[in-house]
Every structure is written in structure tokens, then in C-alpha cells.
Amino acid sequence: MSKPLPRIVITAGEPAGIGLDICAMLAHQALDADISVVADQHALSERADQLKIPLKIQVSLTHQAAQKHAGNGTLKVHHQSCSAPVVAGQLNPKNSAYVLNTLKTALTGCQQGTFDAMVTAPVHKGIINQAGITFTGHTEFLAEQTNTQQVVMMLVGGGMRVALATTHLPLTQVSKAITQESLTTTIRILQHDLIHQFGISNPKIMVAGLNPHAGENGYLGDEEINTIQPVLEALKKEGMNLIGPLPADTMFSQKNIANTDAFLAMYHDQGLAVLKHASFGDGVNVTLGLPIIRTSVDHGTALDLAGKGNIEIGSMLAAIKLATQLAHSRTE
């Protein structure tokens, strides 16, 4: 029996950035899923015209039967109006509420079962905050909107899955943010979703230390001794396959990458610098712990490239592919 065709909803992100470019280009990519985009259809049409990409917009209707995205130049769009005219490369705080509304629309559709997963194009945190809206990122926003106490940010690419114990924090705040309680919850979420979303029955997880050389037995910091090691020992007793805390500078060896289901880094750049180097622009961001499936590109808005016609969409294609796979494999 064939599996039902996943319904994927894509949010177009910051309208001044390359999100609209990516969506216009997707109209000419055949995909093994039903694809809908939440965006301002007029801004999307104008961007397609600017890029000289033929685009036919079809109104997205929730009661329509799922159809495989043909890549014939047609794109299903759920219209969400911008508050101000959109100019490629020029941020406008008046459109910040629109950006968040696209996320809310896609999220509601996933919660109601209209869509099986959401994929997000990049947003610009700075301009949203400039508009007077406190916003630290997709991950935190979706957690708040779904009343999820804690989520985990994980990137997939370059043959790796790299999860983060902390996300968008200044380095000066990282140590304080990593507690035994928060780290335990992070690892539990990672373990659960590797099993129930990725279909890995007994995941092997390598955990980095926080300090150089994983603290060097306390000489270079004691977070490993006081926080990380006790958590790992307690969870190992429950049967989890955890290794660490390991020095981050040697953890990502080729041998480890080939024999590990996921890595857990203590802070953003500790893990993602390695993954983004290895994934060559095809990395995917996944939010674990949410009641819905959410993947995202691993790059920013690229304002300087918007409307120019010289971008790659590999990360978006990878994000859609992963969302499709997760929609097929997800169990409770």
C-alpha cells in the first residue's frame, strides 16, 4: 500500500530577502510532495517577474486533494498581505508582522492537520526586533506558539546530525544556561525524536564538552564535571547510548561521523561551524520537540542577492526532502 502524499507548507520568510526568489524557483522543481507557499502573492509575482521566471499562481484551497508538485511553473499560494511595498534587498519593519503571520498560518495548518510539515525560508531577526517585536528565531517562536516548554535545534547535512544544548545566546551566557535539568531535557527530546521521527531504534549520541579539551579534568573549567558528566551517567543507566563529554575539536572525526547517529554540541558555533562546512550549503535545520514537523534552510536572508538571479536552492530542496521523509516516518 502506497503512503499518502505529504502536504508540505512553506513560509516565504523575509520578503526583502531571497525567500521569494527561492519560492519562485521552486515552481520549476518537481517534488514528491504536495507543496503550498504562504506569501504575499503580489510580491511573489513581482519577484518572479524581476527574475524573469515564468510563474502561475494557484490559490491554495485546504479542501483540495493532495497533488504531487509537478514543477511546471505553477505554485499553490496561500495569500498573506504585506503591509508595505516590497523591494528586493531593502528591509522594511512595516512588514515584520506579515513575516510572523505567515508562520502562524503555516503552524495552524499543521496543528489542524491541513499540512503534514512546515518548511521555513529565512527571516531577519534584526528587522523584526526593530519593529518592536521581541524575536530571537524560528525555533523559539514556534516553541512559544505551541506552548512547548523546551525544544531542540538540530541541523542535518554533510552526513551529520548536530543538535544544540543552547541556541541563539551570547557566549557569556552559555555556561549559565546549561543546567543538569535543561541538558537532561535536551537529550531526552533528541533521543525521542531520533527514534520516533528518524526511525533510529537505539541512537548513538556523542556529546561535546563545553570547555577546551572537555575541561581537562577541571583545569580548564568544571562544567563537564559538575553538569554534563552527571547527566550522561544518569541517562546511561536508563539505557541511552551516550558517549561524552568529548573534546569538540576531535569529536567530529570522519570515523565518528560514520558511526554516530547524532552529535550534541553545547553552543551554536561549536557544532554548526563543522556541519555547515561539511554540508556545502545543503544543510537543513530541524526543530525537535514540537508537536509538528518543522524543517528550514540553514542560511540567512542574503539581502544582497535578492532579485539578482544568482542563488542556489539546494538547502530548501534538502529541507523539503527531509520534511517529506519525516512526514512518512513519524510515529507518536
3-state SS string over 10-67?
A: EECCCCCCCHHHHHHHHCCCCECCEEEEEECHHHHHHHHHHHCCCCEEEECCCCCCCC
- The predicted model scores a pTM of 0.91
Tell me the percentage of the chain whose pLDDT exceeds 90: 89
pLDDT at 1 exceeding the cut of 80: no
Pairing of strands 152-157, 284-288: antiparallel
> What's the confidence (pLDDT) of residue 279?
86
For 276-291, how does the pLDDT look when each residue is reduced to its tens digit (9 = 90+)?
Answer: 899 877 889 999 999 9
Element (H, E) at 316: helix 314-329
Rounded distance between C-alpha atoms, residue 34 and residue 40, angstroms: 19
**What residues does 185 pair with on adjacent strands?**
none
**What residues does 57 pair with on adjacent strands?**
75
pLDDT at 220 exceeding the cut of 70: yes
Closest by alpha carbon to 296, among 287, 305, 304?
A: 287
CATH homologous superfamily for the domain 150-280: Isopropylmalate Dehydrogenase (3.40.718.10)
For 111-132, how does the pLDDT look when each residue is reduced to its tens digit (9 = 90+)?
Answer: 999 999 999 999 999 999 999 9
> What's the confidence (pLDDT) of residue 2?
61
For 141-190, how does the pLDDT look when each residue is reduced to its tens digit (9 = 90+)?
Answer: 999 999 999 999 999 999 999 999 998 889 999 999 999 999 999 999 99
Alpha helices (runs of H) in 91-220, residue ranges in sequence order = 96-111, 125-130, 138-145, 171-177, 180-196
Alpha helices (runs of H) in 207-287, residue ranges in sequence order = 223, 229-236, 248-251, 254-258, 268-279
C-alpha separations of 309 from 12, 25, 283, 330 in Å? 17, 10, 21, 36
Closest by alpha carbon to 167, among 194, 192, 137?
A: 137
Amino acid at 61: L
pLDDT at 331 exceeding the cut of 70: no
For 222-258, how does the pLDDT look when each residue is reduced to its tens digit (9 = 90+)?
Answer: 999 999 999 999 999 999 999 999 999 999 999 999 9
Same fold, 1-148+290-332 and 150-280: yes
pLDDT band at 139 (very low <50, low <70, confident <90, very high): confident
How many DSSP H helices and E strands does the chain contain? 13, 12
Domain ranges of the chain: 1-148+290-332, 150-280
> What's the confidence (pLDDT) of residue 247?
97
**Three-class DSSP category at 128:** helix
Rounded distance between C-alpha atoms, residue 202 and residue 70, angstroms: 37
Side-chain half-sphere of 165: how many Cα atoms within 13 Å?
30
> What's the confidence (pLDDT) of residue 63?
66
- Tell me which of 26-30, 62-66, 305-309 is least confident: 62-66
Rounded distance between C-alpha atoms, residue 268 and residue 265, angstroms: 7
CATH homologous superfamily for the domain 1-148+290-332: Isopropylmalate Dehydrogenase (3.40.718.10)
